A = this chain, B = another copy of it.
């Protein structure tokens, strides 16, 4: 499966490297790592064992990549205004486009530009970050749930999932992509935002009883919004919330990506993770006062950066 990677950050480099090691031809659109990777290859330092790809097809210009079987999009959502232009040269008549970006609203942009039937989305549970140019670190997890933007289990989604799984990326095709995205938001909305806002990791947030309660209250709002989107089956709020909190209790002082982004002065993916979910919830009459408040407070920090305060 010829795959083109758009947005070769920590996620794109890691999954692309696994696909290539698994025998697939992979073409990477590179920016920061272009020189290092085209000259010296790509090194993966992984909890599952390190490996090095000495020959990697890296490109600075998407037009030089040309049509592929699968476009894998790992761009930060804050770069979504450039997404269609970057992906377009890779899209031929039979190309599938898979976005593994955070939050909501990404598939819609691709569907509008390329047609809904070309688009798949997935949620990635991956802990990785970039090292020096040419090196990516895989710190934990890695599984993917993917599905058609137009819903339903398709042979195409199953085929991509089996290629991923064969390459060492645990992957499941799901019929209800939107529900999978919302389920991930049930965790991301409280823990990304609260950690970015307070500078506290998940263990600190959960050890203070009022913020532990707040995390659960935020989850309840997200689940109510999720269940108002006409999912194939509703999320069962109490057990799901309990399971999410318990799973987070087991994460020893984990620092969510948005907390790290804020601490390192990078822009936050507020629209995909907060703005669009809030809008979709409110369109269905669901009130999300706490999620809106968290969005407002996080946006205050972004607004200060923009004005240089």
Binding site for B on A (CB under 8 A): 194, 197-198, 200, 204-205, 208, 210-211, 213-214, 217, 289-290, 292-297, 299-301, 303-304, 309
Contact of A303 among B208, B290, B309 (CB under 8 A): B208
Chain A at the B interface: mostly helix, strand, loop or mixed? helix
Taken together as a complex, chains A and B put the C-alpha atoms of A290 and B218 apart, in Å, by 11
Instruction: List the B side residues contacting A211 at CB < 8 Å.
Output: 296-297, 299-300
Contact of A293 among B204, B293, B301, B304 (CB under 8 A): B293
Contact of A213 among B213, B294, B296, B301 (CB under 8 A): B296
Whether the Cβ atoms of B204 and A296 lie closer than 8 Å is no
Q: List 23 A-B contacts (CB under 8 A).
A: A197-B197, A197-B297, A198-B300, A198-B301, A200-B300, A200-B304, A204-B300, A208-B296, A208-B299, A208-B300, A208-B303, A210-B292, A210-B295, A210-B296, A211-B296, A211-B297, A214-B296, A217-B289, A217-B293, A289-B289, A289-B290, A290-B293, A293-B293
Q: Which 5 A-B pairs have the closest CB atoms?
A: A210-B296, A214-B296, A208-B303, A289-B289, A211-B296
Whether the Cβ atoms of A309 and B198 lie closer than 8 Å is no
Closest chain B residue, CB of each to CB of A301: B198
Q: A289-B290, A290-B290, A295-B210 are in contact. Are A300 and B217 (CB under 8 A)?
A: no
Closest chain B residue, CB of each to CB of A302: B208
Taken together as a complex, chains A and B put the C-alpha atoms of A304 and B214 apart, in Å, by 17
Interchain nearest-CB distance for A225 vs B (Å): 15
Q: A208-B300, A289-B289 are in contact. List 7 more A-B contacts (CB 8 A).
A: A208-B296, A210-B295, A210-B300, A211-B296, A211-B297, A211-B300, A217-B293
Interchain nearest-CB distance for A228 vs B (Å): 18
Closest chain B residue, CB of each to CB of A210: B296
Taken together as a complex, chains A and B put the C-alpha atoms of A290 and B292 apart, in Å, by 10
Instruction: List the B side residues contacting A309 at CB < 8 Å.
Output: 204
Closest chain B residue, CB of each to CB of A194: B297
Taken together as a complex, chains A and B put the C-alpha atoms of A211 and B299 apart, in Å, by 8
Instruction: List the B side residues contacting A304 at CB < 8 Å.
Output: 200, 204
Interchain nearest-CB distance for A204 vs B (Å): 7
Whether the Cβ atoms of A299 and B217 lie closer than 8 Å is no
Taken together as a complex, chains A and B put the C-alpha atoms of A211 and B303 apart, in Å, by 11
Taken together as a complex, chains A and B put the C-alpha atoms of A293 and B291 apart, in Å, by 10
Taken together as a complex, chains A and B put the C-alpha atoms of A121 and B299 apart, in Å, by 39
Taken together as a complex, chains A and B put the C-alpha atoms of A200 and B299 apart, in Å, by 12
Instruction: List the B side residues contacting A208 at CB < 8 Å.
Output: 296, 299-300, 303
